[in-house]
Amino acid sequence: MTHRRYLLVPALAAVLATPALAQQRSVTLAEAIAMAQRVQVSMLAAQGAVRTTAAARLAAIGEFTPSVNASANGSNSYSEFQRPDPVTGQILSSGSSTTSLSAGLSASINLFSGFSSRADLAAASANQRAAAAGLVSARYGVVVSTTAAFITALTQRQLVGVDSEAVASAQTQLKAAVDKLHAGAATKSDSLTAMVTLGSAQLTLVNAGAALIGAQAALARIIGVDGQVAAQDDSSFYRVVSNVDTATVRREAMAQSPLVQSAQANADAAHASARAAKAGYWPTLSASANANWSGSNSSTPAYNLLPNRSIGLQLNWPLFNKFTRESNIANTEVNAEVQDATAADARRQLQSTLSQDIALLEAAGTSIGIGQTSVSSAREALRVVQEKYRVGTATIVDVMTAQVALNNAETSVLQARFSYLNAKAALEALIGRSL
């Protein structure tokens, strides 16, 4: 009965290690990022903002150009009347029709708008820059979140592998304990202890399998795919970068950070809006020209289109508007101050984020190296203590303790690699290149 119990473990491990993976789709990190960028709402919204701000800037440019309108009209009227014939007295009917034609052309242009048009163009241009930076920021966010989901799915699959090895090792140890029990070289407590260890390892494997399914489902959602998606492993993930030039990383990140650029563009737009509000104290001057032509078939000669032309200048100077200008100026100036503070905070936030990511990268890189050494030592220690148990110089508890130490060391390496890959992805997204 005991043999049947632990012989079932390999099948359990195989199922958990590959949950419906026979036909399961797998993606590389580059494929996952490309797919996520096509479906994430943040990307679509940012792309829409780029389009709308570009159109708004075009409209602001249009304020420096004339507006031209053309019109045309045609009409036909018919009149009918009756009269008696003077000879016969019979009522005679007759009628006449008149066709009229007219056309017009008008143009107007703002000659001076109190500098508001120039300020509005500056604000529109700044908003467009902010939208462009927002698109880059959205792309950065998608890259980071997708990479995190990808690495999580990959790490969980590797944890399943570690836990599967732990189950296999516990299975082997149980068999050794049972064999020694049958040979009279061990007590029944050794077998029971081994069985408890095996059960615990199986439970850990089951939980790891469930976590893997959840991680692969999360990856599928973020890239717009139903079901589960497996993260395709790549040996390049495990390359640890040494001697990262942190000064260069900080300089590159500060120069092209979308968060900083967007915040600064918003501040520029706010200052331009404040200048536009102050333009309300200035007069506006516009010019217009109109030309109209009209005629009908009742004129001589018929349809002679008679011209009518006019030109004009219009000056408008609001002398008092119930303090609405002062209110607008105060609101725009306050907003400009807030946006300046926001831009300064964005720069400080970037510096803080860089410090955290660089520290995580360096700490995780060091932990990987230490962890790999620990894994090698723990594996050798387990081999030695298993041999000692076989010859009767070590206890089953010694073996279990060594096995736990190996599992912990392998898990620590995976966790360190997870932290390293996430920190590396975050830094690469900030500087726009691979480390």
Instruction: Evaluate whether residue 165 is within a structural domain.
Output: yes
Q: Pairing state of beta strands 91-112 and 67-84?
A: antiparallel
Threshold 0.85, pTM exceeds: no
Instruction: Evaluate whether residue 202 is within a structural domain.
Output: yes
Q: How confident is the model at residue 374 (pLDDT cuts 50, 70, 90)?
A: very high
Q: Does residue 351 share a domain with residue 401?
A: yes
Q: Does residue 310 share a domain with residue 216?
A: no
Instruction: Evaluate whether residue 68 is within a structural domain.
Output: no
CATH number of the domain at 45, please: 1.20.1600.10
Let me know how long the chain is. Answer: 435
Q: Does residue 119 share a domain with residue 83?
A: no
Per-residue pLDDT of 105-144, as tens digits, reads 888 888 877 677 888 888 888 888 888 888 888 888 888 8
Per-residue pLDDT of 265-324, as tens digits, reads 888 888 888 888 887 788 888 888 888 887 777 555 555 666 788 888 888 888 777 788
Q: Does residue 304 share a domain with residue 207?
A: no
Q: Please, are residues 49 and 41 in contact by the beta-carbon 8 Å criterion?
A: no
Residue 11: the pLDDT is: 41
Q: Does residue 102 share a domain with residue 34?
A: no
Residue 9: the pLDDT is: 45
Tokens 């590797």 correspond to: 158
Q: Does residue 100 share a domain with residue 211?
A: no
- SS3 of the chain: CHHHHHHCHHHHHHHHHCCCCCCCEEECHHHHHHHHHHHCHHHHHHHHHHHHHHHHHHHHHHCCCCEEEEEEEEEEEEEEEEEECCCCCCEEEEEEEEEEEEEEEEEEEEEECCCHHHHHHHHHHHHHHHHHHHHHHHHHHHHHHHHHHHHHHHHHHHHHHHHHHHHHHHHHHHHHHHHHHHCCCCCHHHHHHHHHHHHHHHHHHHHHHHHHHHHHHHHHHHCCCCCCEEECCCHHHHCCCCCCCHHHHHHHHHHHCHHHHHHHHHHHHHHHHHHHHHHHHCCEEEEEEEEEEEEECCCCCCCCCEEEEEEEEEEECCCCCCCHHHHHHHHHHHHHHHHHHHHHHHHHHHHHHHHHHHHHHHHHHHHHHHHHHHHHHHHHHHHHHHHHHHHCCCCHHHHHHHHHHHHHHHHHHHHHHHHHHHHHHHHHHHHCCCC
Per-residue pLDDT of 50-87, as tens digits, reads 999 999 999 888 888 888 888 888 887 776 766 776 77
Q: Does residue 168 share a domain with residue 92?
A: no
Q: How confident is the model at residue 94 (pLDDT cuts 50, 70, 90)?
A: low
Residue 301: the pLDDT is: 52
pLDDT for 13 beyond 70? no
Q: Does residue 132 share a domain with residue 88?
A: no
Residue 201: the pLDDT is: 87
Q: How confident is the model at residue 207 (pLDDT cuts 50, 70, 90)?
A: very high
Q: What is the mean pLDDT of residues 218-233?
A: 90
Q: Does residue 260 share a domain with residue 388?
A: yes
Q: In which domain, by residue range, is 224 found?
A: 2-63+113-282+320-431
Number of domains into which the chain is organized: 2
pLDDT for 22 beyond 70? no
Instruction: Evaluate whether residue 420 is within a structural domain.
Output: yes
- Better-scored residue on pLDDT, 234 or 85: 234
Residue 95: the pLDDT is: 65
Q: What is the mean pLDDT of residues 180-200?
A: 79
Q: Does residue 307 share a domain with residue 207?
A: no
- Better-scored residue on pLDDT, 387 or 185: 387
Instruction: Evaluate whether residue 208 is within a structural domain.
Output: yes
Instruction: Evaluate whether residue 289 is within a structural domain.
Output: no
Q: Does residue 306 share a domain with residue 411?
A: no
Instruction: Evaluate whether residue 191 is within a structural domain.
Output: yes
Instruction: Evaluate whether residue 69 is within a structural domain.
Output: no
Q: Which of 86-90, 152-156, 160-164 has the lowest mean pLDDT?
A: 86-90
Q: How confident is the model at residue 249 (pLDDT cuts 50, 70, 90)?
A: confident
Per-residue pLDDT of 392-421, as tens digits, reads 888 888 888 898 899 889 889 888 888 888
Residue 92: the pLDDT is: 67
Q: Does residue 348 share a domain with residue 227?
A: yes
